[in-house]
Structure formats: structure tokens, C-alpha cells
Amino acid sequence: MFLARPRGWRNQVWETDHMQAPVLVDVEGRARRPWITWFTDCATNAITGVAVTPVHPSRESVLAALRSAVLREDPYGLFGGLPEKVRVDRGKDFLSRTVTAAFDLLDVTVEDLPAYTPHLKGTVEGLNRAVEGMFLAALPGYARQPRPGKRASRPKDEVLLGFEDFTARLLDWTLWWNTEHRPAPLRGRTPLDAWQDDPTPLRDVPAADLWTFTLEDAGTRMLTSSGIRFKNRDYVGPWMTGQSGIQVRVRFMPITTTASRSTTPPRAATSVPRIWQIRPLRNRSAPYGGHGPPAPAA
């Protein structure tokens, strides 16, 4: 038995975790167990951000979930803003250089918990248990069905959900959790009720700045008459006209995971590499809350 922490106020502390769903889904003809990466607010039990990947999560899925957690504009909804602290459990993805740099620039403290101490992040661990018991256990392909005696093979006629269908259903469930479910610690309120009842001011980040801080840095490239060469492709933009020969810094999303939050979920995305931002080199930006990031290239 462990003592409960004081609930605190919204965005005082978030917890984050990866969870491999105990459900087989169809990913391009292969049965796989998808991974869920999410952030939850400890004071209100709100799921602030979530990303779903068909393979083992990485720093990119952490950044995708972080973006969806922080942004409060459409289509992300009311929950979000910058937390004061985020608790993680020594996962290499959460503590990667890219992720820790993003937290540092956003002025968010990272609490790296000791190994094998799930009780120290009880809010997100409780969410992991709840999503299995309330949602995942009822889906086709649930992988923890009790089978007496010798473990039998799965029914040959069982039809698994596709990855995009699974993701859409999970996002619907997170919407239900945030707006209709009444967790016992909230004493009859929904996470949305608890969030709206809390007068704590929120620290918002402009979407353009957040994308700058949470994209992978690919270093510098020379701008040529063909544009920017990156991963065997040429990328061009109107601002490049007459700029041939300058050095630019490339930031990109190596994979695009499905990411959503508590309101209308966006369409499931693909895993095709994509350039999100290319800009001329400027002076290094100050942490958010100081002088701010460099202005986008004209």
C-alpha cells in the first residue's frame, strides 16, 4: 500500500508512459500489437495527449504525443498548455537528447523516476489498467483471453481491426474518458469538469514555435538551384528564390504517428518521412519564455 500524493492543480505535474496494447490488429496484412504513448494530467486525470504507432515507439512518437498534449487549438481541444513537470520512468525514448532538449526549451522539468517504481507514476499506470479493462478487452484480437489447458490457436475466422480503425476507436475512447467518465478520485466529476473548475492560469505555446522545438534536427544543408536535398528528395519553397548558396537548417518528422487528444481526432496518418520545416540559419534560440525562437524565414 502506498500513500496518495496531493492532487495539486492542473498542469502542475503530468505523467507519461508507453503501453503495448494487448490487442492484435492488422497492419498491412500482419498481426501486430500497437503501442500507445500518452500524457495524463495528475490533478484532473485528463488524457492530454496520445500517439499510436504500429511498431515499438521511439522519440518521434513521444514528440508527437507531446505536441498533441500541449496544443489547445483545433483540433486538439481544451486540455493542454505547458506543464511544470513531467514524470518519466527512465525510458530511453523519453530521455533521448531530442526529447530532453524539447522539454528544456519549453521550460518543463523532467522527473526521471527510479527503475521498477510504477507506484511513483500511479496516474498513468492507472490509466493503462483502465483502458485495458474498459476498452481493449472487448476488442477482437484481445491477446489475454483465458484459455484452460494447452493454449489454443486463435480462431481462424477472427477478423482483426485494421490499424487505422483501432486508432480511431481508441481516440473515441479517450474522448469519452475526458468528457463523460467520472474517475473515483474526482468524486463525481469528469476530467473536463475538474479542468474547467481549476482557475490555474495556463502557459500556451504558439503552434509554430512548438513545431520548431519538437521536430528532429537534421543539421544544415546547402540551398541550391534545385532546392534542399534531403533523403534523396529535393524540397522547394517560394522563399528559396534568389537564395542559392546559403546554408539552411532542416527540421523534420522521421515518422508521422497518429496523434490526437480529447476532441475531434485528426485522420490517421501514414509513416512516410516528411519535411515539416526548413529555414535559413539564425542565431540559436533562447529557451521558451526568454527571447523566444528565431523568426521563420520570409
Reduced to 3 states (helix: H, G, I; strand: E, B; else coil), residue 57 is: coil
Cell of 135: 476498452
Per-residue pLDDT of 266-295, as tens digits, reads 333 322 233 333 433 433 333 333 323 333
Rg (CA), the chain: 21
Nearest alpha-carbon partner for 287 in 215, 220, 212, 219: 212
CA distance 65 to 59: 10
Lowest mean pLDDT among 43-57, 111-125, 277-291: 277-291
Q: Which of 45-54, 162-171, 184-193, 218-227 is the least confident region?
A: 218-227
Kindly state which CATH superfamily the domain 13-197 is placed in. Answer: Ribonuclease H-like superfamily/Ribonuclease H (3.30.420.10)
Residue that wins the pLDDT comparison between 273 and 245: 245
Instruction: Inform me whether the pLDDT recorded for 103 exceeds 70.
Output: yes
Which strands make up the sheet holding 247-253, listed edge to edge? 216-222, 247-253, 274-280
- Phi, psi of 169, rounded to the nearest 5 degrees: -65, -40
Least confident interval from 2-6, 54-58, 101-105, 210-214: 2-6
Long-range contacts of 60-63 (CB under 8 A, 24+ apart): 60/216, 60/253, 60/254, 60/255, 60/257, 61/18, 61/35, 61/37, 61/93, 61/255, 61/257, 62/16, 62/37, 62/93, 62/94, 62/96, 62/99, 63/98, 63/99, 63/102, 63/214, 63/215, 63/216, 63/253
Per domain, the residue ranges of the chain are: 13-197, 207-280
In Å, how far are 40, 59, 106 from 85, measured between CA atoms? Answer: 12, 18, 11
Q: Closest Cα partner for 46 from 126, 135, 114, 156?
A: 126
Residue 5: the pLDDT is: 64
Q: CA 261, 138, 42, 119 torsion: positive or negative?
A: negative
Mean pLDDT calculated for residue range 19-29: 95
How many residues in total does the chain contain?
298
- Report the C-alpha gap between 159 and 157 in whole angstroms: 6
Q: Checking DSSP bridges between strand 216-222 and strand 247-253, what pairing results, if any? A: antiparallel
Residue bearing the bigger pLDDT, 292 or 120? 120
